[in-house]
Amino acid sequence: MIITPRAKASNAGNWHTAARWARFLRKRWPTTVAGQWDGQPADCLICLHARRSAESIQAFAAACPDKPLIVVLTGTDLYRDIRADRTAQQSLELATHLVVLNELGLRPLPARLRAKTTVILQSAPPLARVPPSSLRFTVAVVGHLRDEKDPQLVWNMLDHIGAEVPLRVVHAGAPYDEALGRKAASVGQNDPRYEWIGAQPRGRARQLMRRAHVLLHPSVMEGGAQVVIEAITSGTPVLASRIDGNVGLLGRDYAGLFATGDACAAARRVERAAREPAFLRTLARQCRLRASLFAPAREAAAITTLVDNALQQRPMKRRKSP
């Protein structure tokens, strides 16, 4: 059984991860997805989010101490909650296995927990590139309006890009924060270069990325953003904040990174991509070199191996508290 705190209607990354993993695992085992563990028999429980799934984690660990309990750490887990939240910390201890979703995801974990941690990169089916419009340089932003995604940087960035740049910024995402939703609407009314299109089905959001010149991803914390992977596997170059969750997908030497929260630096990257075809080609080449890491077959094999090994091994001794 896979537990995710986000329902399908939320269109959140955690739900999509749970649904994709369930599809992979059903080829070997009966698998269900739920919002909370209710005592239903399960040979293995996989929980996304150490803090939000803490109740299910604690209940399963107490009721089924001899069964594997896999906890998948999200961005807010790794880069915020496990530092101070006791329920998130306890989830790390109760888990028999931990999963992180980017190549640098081990770094925030205490050394003693790394032995039971696996890095699994998420995946997306490849899509053929659609040549973007030659009239305007299109920047796609795909992320719900909440502080972790730093939509304010997108709006501030516009002030640092000259009117001579034929720019179009299309921003998809639900207004998780109503104040940010009002701000997005206001920016769209006052700056013709910016369009907020609200929440979009996954397929439409990916088509937006596929047809854009670049994806702009300015998050301040990420476990391993699915939209970055979907852009890469669609042939769309990425401009992203220099956080572990992005660097752990794009690589340490990726040319499209900018300082987290720095709207001026993001604007310089966008302007350079718009003005310098050689720079855009460099970004595209670097993304192509990473694309094979995000193949669905690779992710499926990693997940199946993890669960298979977990079912065959005796669970590691659990600690009751951090």
Q: Indicate whether 193 and 204 sit together in one domain.
A: yes
Q: What is the pLDDT of residues 85-124, one digit of tens each?
A: 999 999 999 999 999 999 999 999 999 999 999 999 999 9
Q: Indicate whether 65 and 152 sit together in one domain.
A: no
DSSP state of 115: G
CA 104/CA 79 separation, integer angstroms: 12
Query: Which CATH number fits the domain that encloses residue 259?
Result: 3.40.50.2000
Q: What is the pLDDT of residues 40-69, one digit of tens each?
A: 999 999 999 999 999 999 999 999 999 999
Indicate the pLDDT class of residue 9, thresholds 50, 70 and 90.
Answer: very low
Indicate the pLDDT class of residue 10, thresholds 50, 70 and 90.
Answer: very low
Question: Above 80 in pLDDT, residue 12?
Answer: no
Number of helical H runs and strand E runs in the chain: 13, 12
Strand 238-241, strand 214-217: pairing: parallel
Indicate the pLDDT class of residue 13, thresholds 50, 70 and 90.
Answer: low
The mean of the pLDDT values for the chain is 94
Mean per-residue pLDDT, 120-130: 95
Longest dimension (CA), the chain: 65
Q: What is the pLDDT of residues 245-273, one digit of tens each?
A: 999 999 999 999 999 999 999 999 999 99
Question: Which strand (E) or helix (H) includes residue 318?
Answer: none
Residues 6+ apart with CB under 8 A from 167: 136, 137, 139, 158, 161, 193, 270, 274
Whether 319 is covered by a domain: the verdict is no
Q: Indicate whether 163 and 152 sit together in one domain.
A: yes
Question: Above 80 in pLDDT, residue 317?
Answer: no
Q: Indicate whether 159 and 274 sit together in one domain.
A: yes
Q: Which of 59, 95, 64, 73 is nearest to 319 (CA)?
A: 95
Q: How many domains does the chain have?
A: 2
Q: What is the pLDDT of residues 141-159, one digit of tens each?
A: 999 999 999 999 999 999 9
**Contact call for residues 298 and 121 (beta carbons, < 8 A):** yes
Mean per-residue pLDDT, 213-225: 96
Q: Indicate whether 177 and 90 sit together in one domain.
A: no
Query: Which CATH number fits the domain that encloses residue 106?
Result: 3.40.50
Q: Indicate whether 64 and 43 sit together in one domain.
A: yes
Q: HSE (CB half, 13 Å, CA atoms) of 291?
A: 20
Q: Indicate whether 157 and 243 sit together in one domain.
A: yes
Q: What is the pLDDT of residues 282-292, one digit of tens each?
A: 999 999 999 99
Whether 57 is covered by a domain: the verdict is yes
Question: Above 80 in pLDDT, residue 322?
Answer: no
Residue 267: give the domain boundaries: 137-294
Q: Check residue 314 and give its pLDDT.
A: 63
Indicate the pLDDT class of residue 134, thresholds 50, 70 and 90.
Answer: confident
CA 34/CA 31 separation, integer angstroms: 10
Q: For the chain, what is the radius of gyration of the CA atoms? A: 20
Indicate the pLDDT class of residue 133, thresholds 50, 70 and 90.
Answer: confident
